[in-house]
Structure 1
Amino acid sequence: MASLPSPPDTGHDLLHALRANCERPFEDARAMPPGVYTSNDFLALEQRDVFRNEWLCVGRTSELAKPGDYVTTQIDDQPVAVLRDANGELRAFSNVCLHRMSVLLEGSGNVRRIVCPYHAWNYTLDGALAGAPLMDRQPGFCKEHYRLPSVRCEAWQGWIYVTLNNDAPPVATQLAGLTALIEPYGMTDYVQTFHEEHVWDTNWKILAENFMESYHLPMLHRATVGPHSKLEEMECPPGLPAFNYHWITKEATLPIGNAHPGNQRLQGHWRRTTALLAIYPTHLVTLTPGYFWYLILQPRGVGQVHIRFGGGLAPEFIDDPKSAEYMATLKTLLDEVNAEDRHGVEAVFRGVHAPLARAGHLSHLERPNYDFARYLARRIAAA
């Protein structure tokens, strides 16, 4: 019996295989080649051409409500700090001291100054060096010559985005089509009530793709939302260059899945419609008439993904006397669904390493996965 052909093994071989796959019409589309999930070479191409150039979400603007509030993130090898300055403006900086290059801030919190934990060089909230112990004894030192490099930072619909690419179009420009699609929801005013951080043993793209399709709901989530998920109720239109999306219109199993009686923004079937939004490359949002939840992904090598997981309620439900009860019920459900998703995506990651693993045809409900693959094929350069 003839042996199966060897899969591509370098990043550029995999890119060629991915592009060849993406040239197929959707009706004959396959899943991405297994190696795109396991190859360190391919991840290096993603870091170079995707993560170092795209807008990346770091969280909600409401998390940085007061001057000095900050959150940290990492873009490839570049630590970044995002904060609210003394004038109430959002700013982002290189989170690396200009002295001996220690990382400055960790996690999130509130500071009056950015103080280096190594030698106590400290910076104002606009990035200027404010103090450097005993450095006045060095004649060549001039404090005014030091300022933390700025990183582009913008807000859209209540979300904070950063990029290392000075030439990237504004977030609002790239997502103008999405703004128009979801405008009646009023996502900017949704109130975050929790966020957590997790690390799962899977490739970041496997988790992203899992979010992008609801084809898996009846099976993987058969103990939770699966019995309430009717595949015939799902619509998966073609995506746009910066995002893809799909809709589910149904009577929700939770009261907050439908619009609150006080919600006058949504009319007709929109009062029962959930939008699932995949904003490339790593921002994933489930937006319902009453609540939202999201994932923000950051690869940690090919085999792990850091996840920022959060959610909250539409303003009408925040003002409802039962808001705490509603949120507690939702959080319990989301935790159960996440546990099911973790099992699923970690099983896929084990499977894509198999020597006999081969990508099969996509279903009509996996149109977003096809669009995501084409996005990657476009963004990653051949050399």
Structure 2
Amino acid sequence: MQPTNTSLERPLSDDPLSSFTMPARWYLDEEIYAQEKNAIFYREWHYIGHVSTLTTPGDYVTMQLADENIFVIRDDDDQLRGFYNVCRHRAHQLVSGNGRVKDIVCPYHAWRYNKSGELCFARNTQDISNFDQKDYSLHEIQVETLCGLVFVNLDPNAEPLKSRAVGLEEDLRRWIPGVDDLKAISHDAFGGDAGIQANWKVVVDNYVECYHCEKAHPAFSELNCMQDYELDTFGIWSRQLGPSTRIENTAYQFSRKDPIQQSAFWYVWPTTTINVIPGETLVSVLSIQPTSLGTTSFAGDTLAHKSEQGSQRLDWLYNILGAEDMALCESVQKGLNSRSYNQGPFVADTDKSGIGEHALHHFHCLVRDALEQFRPTSE
């Protein structure tokens, strides 16, 4: 009998010690990816940028969120406003990349909106019956900030992030000195423009566990004393902590006088990661966003207190550690296509140790619950 990945699926249960992982088809099926767009990406909070890049009225940043392009802009009342990046006339995108504008002017027919999204001018519309500019304001989305990080949510009824991610702000403040004074110094990405050739959940899977670290990341395991490594889950977020680190390591050099002596990695459902490693205060905030069913962008901002610092750390983080993780994810994606594989067990332990996969199980349950809650009752 030949193996097949369509065999009877085993349960993804609430106990990581007896549960099995998501079936392979959840990473490979276009229909499930379509469900995720509506159940997860268009209903949850996502990092879009840092407040230090949005200081002046007219400053804006854009983001591709599955099939939607959106932007956040600072208005003339000094408020951050978020909108779908779509003109109300003929659907042309209004802005691109990051920048600053006096008004939001469509490149197609020059409809002009103010920074609060209200239509101010639409050429040659004076003879159209019942045309009212007030009816054509941009469609707005929710915006929230947390420790200077700007998040967006397309769901107008979504619960605020701070009440969803209880305790996250306090934890960030505990482990990141001067978090409110950070500024974005660069935009960085794993995999460049091509991204990672794997489903977005493969990338999250890899991020939220360090069971693989001692084998796959030798320099990381020298930098962090893995016997002291911690991994905890909290509602919609989880945090890995390396409280004990070594100055003598093959990753990069830092000093015992530096403000950060530990490693810390936060995952915030569904797409945000916040990363801190020993040395001068340097924070990498990266978003795990699908660009298709089988490709993922892992990109975001590097934040620091000084404009130039951490080049050795950044080189190791993106070019060595990041490259190692990319290779792991892309290999897993290939393996998921094998007819010999469907599910595996979670390697967890009752102590919830730092090398356990209980945060991986936590993520899988969040995906499961989101899809189940969104699924029509007629199914």
Partner of residue 310 from structure 2, selected from 327, 343, 346? 327
Aligned-pair Cα RMSD in Å: 2.3
Deviations 1:284-319 (A, max 9, x none): 111346322132022122111122233233x3xx3x
2:239 maps to 1:245: yes
Give CA-to-partner distance per residue, 1:81-135, whole Å, 9 cap, x none: 1111122210001211111111211121111111111111111101111222222
Q: Per-residue CA shift, 1:321-365, capped at 9, x if unaligned? A: xx73x4211221122221222111111111111111243333332
Instruction: Output aligned runs, 1:286-365, within 5 Å.
Output: 286-288=275-277, 290-313=281-304, 315=305, 318=306, 324=308, 326-336=309-319, 337-364=321-348, 365=356
Q: Is the 8 A contact 1:37 1:352 kept in 2?
A: yes
Residue 125 of structure 1: which of 103, 107, 115 is its match?
115
Q: Please tell me whether residue 101 in structure 1 is matched to residue 101 in structure 2.
A: no
1:202 to 198, 201, 217: 198
Residues 1-383 of structure 1: pairs in structure 2 closer than 5 A? 2-4=1-3, 6-7=5-6, 17=9, 20-23=11-14, 25-184=15-174, 185-186=176-177, 187-197=179-189, 198=192, 199-222=195-218, 224-237=219-232, 239-253=233-247, 254=252, 260=258, 263=259, 272-288=261-277, 290-313=281-304, 315=305, 318=306, 324=308, 326-336=309-319, 337-364=321-348, 365-381=356-372, 382-383=375-376
What is the rounded CA distance, in whole Å, between the counterparts of 2:95 and 2:137 in structure 1?
A: 16
What is the match of residue 352 of structure 2? none
C-alpha distance in structure 1 between counterparts of 2:335 and 2:283, whole Å: 31
Cα 1:380/1:308, change in 2 over 3 Å = same
1:218 CA drift (Å): 2.5
In the alignment, structure 1 segments of 5+ residues that lack a partner are 264-270
Structure 2: gaps spanning 5 or more residues: 349-355
Paired residues of 1:217 and 1:229 also in contact (CA < 8 A): no
Q: Check whether the contact 1:215–1:231 (CA below 8 A) recurs between aligned residues.
A: no
Higher helix share: 1
CA–CA distance in structure 2, aligned partners of residues 42 and 99 of structure 1: 32
Q: TM-score, normalization: structure 2?
A: 0.86
Give me the whole-angstrom Cα distance separating, in 1, the residues matched to 2:137 and 2:316: 46
Q: Structure 1: how far apart are the matches of 2:255 and 2:265?
A: 13
Letter in 2 for 1:334: L
Q: What letter corresponds to residue 49 of structure 2 in structure 1?
A: G
Aligned in 2, Cα 1:297/1:200: closer, same or farther, shift over 3 Å? same
Paired with 2:237 and 2:6, the residues of 1 have a C-alpha distance of: 29
The alignment's TM-score, normalised by the length of structure 1, stands at: 0.85
Partner of 1:331, secondary structure, is helix
- Hey, what's the Cα distance between the residues in 2 that align with 1:6 and 1:355? 5
What whole-Å deviation, never above 9, does each CA across 1:55-92 have from its counterpart, x for those lacking one? 11112121212211111123343321111112221000
SS in 2 for 1:251: coil
CA distance in 1, matches of 2:139, 2:254: 43
Offset of residue 252 of structure 1: 4.7
In structure 1, distance between residues paired with 2:180 and 2:207: 21
Q: Structure 2 vs 1, CA of residues 256 and 58 (structure 1 numbering), >3 Å: closer, same or farther?
A: farther
For residues 149 and 164 of structure 2, the distance between their equivalents in structure 1, rounded to whole angstroms, comes to: 14
Percent identity, aligned pairs only, is 25
Return the offset for 1:150: 1.2
Q: Is the 8 A contact 1:258 1:288 kept in 2?
A: no
Of stretches 86-95 and 225-234 in structure 1, the one that deviates more from structure 2 is 225-234
Question: Residue 257 and residue 177 in structure 1: after superposition, are their counterparts in 2 closer, same or farther (change >3 A)?
Answer: farther
Mapped partners of 1:114, 1:301: distance in 2: 29
Q: What SS does structure 1 have at the residue aligned with 2:314?
A: helix
